[in-house]
Amino acid sequence: MKTPFFSKRILKAGCVLLGAVLLFCAVFPSAQAGNAPSLRSLIEETFDAKLSHKAFFEEDDAGSSVCDWIALAMGRYGIVYENSERKYYYDAPLTQYADAAEKYLREFYESSGVSSGVKLTDYFRTAIALTALGRDVSDIIRAASLNNPKSVSKLAVLTVSYGLVCLELTGVEEDEETVHTRREFIERLVSLRHDDGGWSLTPGESDVDVTSMVLQGLAPFYRKGSFGVEPVVEKALAFLSTRQRSSGDFVSYGTFNAESTAQVIVALTQLGIDVLSDSRFIKENGNALDGLLLYRLEDGSFTHSFTSDPENTSAVPGSYNYLATDQAAYALVALWRQQAGLRPLYDMCPDITGISKNTSDTIINRMIELIRMIVLSIASKFSFIK
């Protein structure tokens, strides 16, 4: 049976229209940023709850875990344009915080250097927050990682992983003065892996939190297909899948908790895995987002767990926990960025590549007008379209 001529024309016109729409979406992924209202509401309610429990900006807390993680979340809840201009979607004293945190970090570096007695992960944590707020501390990152005189074989697993995160997000390159390379950092992580495919802080059984944080460090190389990390990552993902219960949340050392679930979400988004659709992380009664929201309290903050945790005795079951709230906040931001078509949490390149803020609105309007014209043109070809 032959296809009627007018049907072929409709099919052809439809393909043209679909192609235009797809082109529009591909060129302007940031236009999707407002299409996740439920996630945006969750994020902003979490921020509000955080501030109701503790003021975000207190100078004495700058450069500490008390505020660095929430600063990261707030900083990445927005868009960075090609001209490096930043648009934040939440009103907070981010500039004041960045000033205080950078002052603290540089003074700490000048007084302590990168000796073996210094916790390098403190450098990396604060550097991540500062980079999210547009500050350049790549000189400290280089000194603490590639140019650190300490042997990589002596560095702890999370120090190495967050070192890799910082190297990639600041764009620090290896040169003739480099003492260590990225390959050495990756090989160190692989050497610390357990037989089950995961990692932990101590010998023995792997831990969900640590495994997820290591995957965040390996993620850029997984996405680029470099250094042969793919099989390592895939085995670790299989391990994580086994630690997810039917409700979507994750267990760490026998306790189901918010932070473990948050870290898995960050890891998956960094790896380019869709948290909401990947079958490995969708269980009978929910996905990882559903699991995280189990720990959300009425005011929008998060509790660590609803049961006593022998590994975290300071956390009161069912009550507000600052670290759970902070980690949930940046996990929600990471997921929002993924679903909005923006760059991952730790990929801090401009979100609109090759297009400045000043021209994007004009071009988008032109694309919309072009699509409208195509639709009208198609309609005019057929007398049965009124």
- At 312 the pLDDT is 83
* Domain membership flag for residue 238: yes
**Strands annotated E in 3-145:** 78-80, 86-88
pLDDT level of residue 31 (50, 70, 90 thresholds): very low
For residue 322, give Cα distances in angstroms to 47, 73, 109, 258, 298: 11, 13, 27, 11, 15
Is the pLDDT confidence value at 78 over 70? Answer: yes
pLDDT-based confidence at residue 374 (cuts at 50, 70, 90): low
Comparing CA positions, the residue from 218, 198, 214 lying closest to residue 157 is 214
> Could you tell me if residue 42 is inside a domain?
yes
In this structure, is residue 297 part of a structural domain?
A: yes
Residue 373 lies in a domain: no
User: Is 120 part of any domain?
Assistant: yes
Using one digit for the tens of pLDDT, what is the confidence trace for 236-264?
A: 999 999 999 999 999 998 899 999 999 99
Rounded to an integer, the average pLDDT of 145-152 is: 92
pTM: 0.83
Residue 35 pLDDT class (50, 70, 90 cuts):
very low
Q: What percent of the chain has pLDDT over 90?
A: 68
Q: Is residue 372 part of a domain?
A: no
Residue 337 has pLDDT above 90, yes or no: yes
Amino acid 320: pLDDT: 96
Type of residue found at 158: L
**Rounded CA separation 207/209 (Å):** 6
pLDDT at 22 over 90: no
* pLDDT (0 to 100) of residue 33: 44
In a domain, 383, yes or no: no
Residue 375: predicted pLDDT = 53
Contact 101, 62 (CB under 8 A): yes
Q: Domain of 151: which CATH number? A: 1.50.10.20
Please say if the pLDDT value at position 37 is more than 70: no
Give, in order, the Cα–Cα distances in Å from 272 to each of 120, 278, 342.
Answer: 27, 11, 11
Q: Which residues pair with residue 207 across a beta bridge?
A: 199
Helix (H) or strand (E) holding 212: helix 208-224
Q: Which domain holds residue 245?
A: 36-354
Mean pLDDT of 57-84: 91
Residue 15 lies in a domain: no
**Cβ contact 190:184 at 8 Å:** no
Angle at 169 between CA 194 and CA 114, to 5 degrees: 75
Number of domains in the chain: 1
**Angle 37-53/322-339 helices, nearest 10 degrees?**
160
- Cα–Cα distance measured from residue 14 to residue 20, given in angstroms and rounded to the nearest whole number: 10
pLDDT in tens, 172-216: 999 888 999 999 999 999 999 999 999 999 888 899 999 999 999
pLDDT at 32 over 60: no
